[in-house]
Amino acid sequence: SSLNPPPLRSLLYFGGYTEGWAVYVEQYAYTLAGLDPALARVKQLDHSIQLCLYSLLDIMIHYEGLTIDKMKQLLSGNQVVNEDVAQQIYDIMIEEPANYLKYYVGYLEICRLRTRAEDTLGDKLVLKEFHEFLLTIGPAPFSIIEEREDIWIQDILSLLL
């Protein structure tokens, strides 16, 4: 908001960007927390797997019709959670369809944008500048952010020549 975006931008909501950024920052923070790098990576992967699992369950419930009994069987049969926890997860999914998808898919999209920048710029990429680019763009559809990223990358490359 410090960039004074047009008022219309305050009416639009891009949950994938907003919640994806929040997950990205949480994941990135593990590398800054002073943890042993291996432990930080385990925590990142654990968080990512949990969000992935919830996203898959959300799709299975709302698109494929997964019942609570089948879900309990699936989760407790693989010793992921006990039946009470499975019931709690199911209730959350029923109350807010597609909620976890905006977190996880948004996070994956931001990771994909970062990978594109890393692949193109290599060691010329300054991560702080990538983060500033994302925050300056602000909430928007990822297709638009990707187009702007192409321009941003080309601007960096032209400065290096």
d(CA 139, CA 56): 25
**pLDDT score, position 80:** 67
Q: What is the distance, to the nearest Å, from the Cα of residue 116 to the centroid of all Cα atoms in its chain?
A: 16
The answer, yes or no, to whether residue 1 has pLDDT greater than 70, is: no
**Above pLDDT 90, what percent of the chain?**
76
Give the model's pLDDT for residue 98.
Answer: 92
First-to-last alpha carbon distance for the chain, in angstroms, is 34
Looking up tokens 């049969």 gives 77
Backbone angles phi, psi at 152, to 5 degrees: -60, -45
pTM exceeds cut of 0.85: yes
pLDDT tens digit sequence for 91-100: 999 999 999 9
9, 101, 10: which is closest to 51 by C-alpha? 101
What is the C-alpha radius of gyration for the chain, rounded to an integer number of angstroms? 19
